[in-house]
Homo-oligomer: A and B are copies of this chain.
């Protein structure tokens, strides 16, 4: 992550842009909103293309660049890629092509996991795209000697979106996915998808008390704080910041389901055609 532009004090009022393939990134938006209530936030959910997890690298890079262009048109001072798949596939491409700092969820999650593990055995769960990219394993290898065990959990996103965040079927599904990681005796588990914080109750039951759960939303929010402070571009206004929501499809559905993911109120959602 590199801060490319030196901002003058006026630019501190500019919004932070946050994007995801759909609703999941709202868990990140929510954490940032709670921690930095005076920042202006713009969210983009790419609901015409959701999910990214099963799509190819090139396609995810194309989608991500289109969204970044939209956020830049809205004059953001910083872009948060609140989607693990897009962070895994598109972060370097965005950092190269975009004129403001861009941060993703992988590095902050990897750093938190490396700091947490005592047995040096870290588990990662995520979508097929995130897991196949091996991004968490690579990021952890750079900073730690821990062993990393990865598990794709393709059913978790649909289960969350069905609203089945804490029932028998979801628990049994979690048991199937978690069994290989538990067998490896991990002591730290990275929730490598922004939907997964909604499954914390189920995952806590499956994982037991001895495994620390790392929520990427918390990890990236700390990173946003560091970046705002370091670059001196935190919004110093005393007023509560504004929040805006844009999607590429189904604004009404986003409003309805989004309420589960975002702690604030989603009043208005605007549909934007990126193509």
Contact = CB atoms under 8 A, between A and B. Distances in A.
Nearest to A47: B55
Interface in A142-198: 154-155, 157-159, 161-162, 164, 168-169, 172-173, 176
A159 B168 contact: no
A168 B173 CA distance: 10
Contacts of A48: 49, 55, 59
Contacts of A159: 155
A50 interface: yes
Q: How many copies does the complex hold?
A: 2
Contact of A168 (B49, B158, B164, B172): B172
Contacts of A161: 54, 154
A250 B55 contact: yes
A120 B160 CA distance: 35
Contacts of A111: none
Interface string A51-92: 000111001000000000000000000000000000000000
Given A49-B49, A169-B169, A169-B173, A55 B154 contact: no
Interface residues of A, number: 25
Contact of A155 (B54, B55, B162, B253): B162
A275 interface: yes
A249 B56 contact: yes
B158 A169 contact: no
Nearest to A49: B49
B59 A249 contact: yes
A220 to B, nearest CB: 26
A261 to B, nearest CB: 15
Contacts of A162: 154-155
A155 B172 CA distance: 14
B155 A56 contact: no
Interface of A: 47-50, 54-56, 59, 154-155, 157-159, 161-162, 164, 168-169, 172-173, 176, 249-250, 253, 275
22 contacts: A48-B49, A48-B55, A49-B49, A50-B54, A54-B250, A54-B253, A55-B250, A56-B249, A56-B250, A154-B158, A154-B162, A155-B155, A155-B162, A155-B164, A157-B158, A168-B172, A169-B169, A169-B172, A169-B173, A169-B176, A172-B172, A275-B275
